[in-house]
Amino acid sequence: MAKEQAQHQPNETNQKKKRSPVFFIILAVLIVVGGFYGIKAYIYSQHHEDTDDAQIAANVSPVISKISGYITEVKVKDNEFVHKGDTLVVLDTRDLKMSLEQAEAALGTARSNVASAHATTAAAHKNIGTASAAVATADAQIEAAKVNVWRTSEDLKRYENLIKDHSITQQQYEQALAAKQTADRQLEILKEQRNQAAAQTGAVSFQSKATAEQIGVSAAMVRQREVDVENAKLNLSYAVIVANEDGVVSKVPVQTGQYIQAGAQLFSIILNNDKWVVANFKETQLSRMVTGQKVELSVDAFPKHSFEGIVGSFSPATGSVSALLPADNASGNFVKVVQRVPVRIEFVNKNDSLIQKLRAGMNVLVDVHLN
């Protein structure tokens, strides 16, 4: 038995020695393969920067209502292609038409006020002429009255000498005295009338200036009413919402009878005039990236087709800065997070038929060639 056990032990040892090289061979192969792929990955990383955090981007034109109102008609459907100027939504215009009629009526009243002010001014000018003529007449009458005063004064002097000599009667002297006093009184009355006429002329002249200024005020009011009419017409035109550019309509959530506020975005139009890629690279990947570098693009929707592009521009801020609620690292505990910077990548071959099939938001794998 001992001899048999001694014979079996060398056989088992020989079998172990025969199996041992396989393990080392497998280990060597794994090391070689791992080293090969490691060196390959290292060399690739020295000449490429890639990311799968990238999407197709396009120009989006928001459809916004400039006035408030109720929708009477929606003329487009989801995903419908529209041309620039096509009618999209129609609002109720009854209130707007009433506002326009009120503005036009107010404009008519303002224009009537201008005509009335012109007529009043013309009448005031005529009154100035009449008052000036009255002043001139009063001046002439005053001159005549002065002559009469002089004549009666001379007559009274002669009669005073004659009465002393008893050459005339007392009655004749009293008549001469009365004539002198009457002439004096008449001169005073004419002077007073002349002053009144002059004052009337000044009042008419002031009234004329006031009416002339009223013409300016009325004209300004007409201009304001004209602006009100134009504004009412503009608001009425806003009741028909049209497409600003050619493109494809997004989802249309509005319905007939719905009330919308001014400035509210109803839906969007995706313009088909240009598309590009926005790739969000880590900040640690940007050290050797520059504009103009060649980019290889692979869109998930077309995995068998490779698109060619170039680095167009870099965002001046990281995505977190542009977020609606940016992070405030000065408050609370701080955990360092690698930030991403949006990079715009332009397609090189704009005539590629597949580019027209791309849709905004599609995922893209981006490979930037650093050399």
Please indicate, yes or no, if residue 142 is contained in any of the structural domains. yes
Domain count, the chain: 1
**Tokens matching residue 338:** 């690698």
Above 70 in pLDDT, residue 204? no
Confidence band, pLDDT 50/70/90 cuts, at residue 20: low
Three-state DSSP state, 4: helix
Share of the chain above pLDDT 90, in %: 37
Residue 31 resides in a domain: no
CATH code: domain of residue 165: 1.10.287.620
Query: What token pair was written down for 62?
Result: 């928001």
How is residue 328 written in tokens? Answer: 């405030």
Rg (CA), the chain: 53
Q: For the segment 241-284, what is each residue's pLDDT rounded down to a tens digit?
A: 999 988 999 899 999 999 999 999 999 999 877 899 999 999 99
Question: Hey, what are 289's tokens?
Answer: 């990236």
Amino acid at site 107:
L
Give yes or no for residue 127 having a pLDDT over 70. no
Q: What is the mean pLDDT of the chain?
A: 81
pLDDT tens for each residue of 90-122:
999 999 999 999 999 988 888 888 777 777 766
pTM score of the predicted model: 0.61
Is 137 within the bounds of a domain?
yes
Mean pLDDT over 144-164 rounds to: 73
Q: Tokens standing for 333?
A: 């505990």
In 3D space, the residue among 365, 366, 342, 362 whose CA is nearest the CA of residue 354 turns out to be 362
**Residue 164 is assigned to a structural domain of this protein:** yes
Residue 182, domain extent: 95-233
What pLDDT score was predicted for residue 129? 61
CA 107/CA 96 separation, integer angstroms: 17
Query: Is 54 inside a domain boundary?
Result: no
The answer as to whether 197 is a domain residue is yes
Cβ distance 271 to 356 under 8 Å? no
Please give the helix or strand (H or E) that residue 225 lies within, else none: helix 170-237
Q: Which residue has the higher pLDDT, 141 or 368?
A: 368
Return the closest-CA partner of residue 57 out of 354, 322, 360.
Answer: 360
100: left (phi over 0), alpha (psi -120 to 50) or beta: alpha
CB 91 within 8 A of CB 241: yes
Residue 66 within any structural domain of the chain: no
Condensed to tens digits (0 to 9), the pLDDT of residues 52-79 reads 999 999 999 999 999 999 999 999 999 9
CB contact set of 220 (below 8 Å; sequence gap of 6+): none
Tell me whether residue 227 is in a domain. Answer: yes
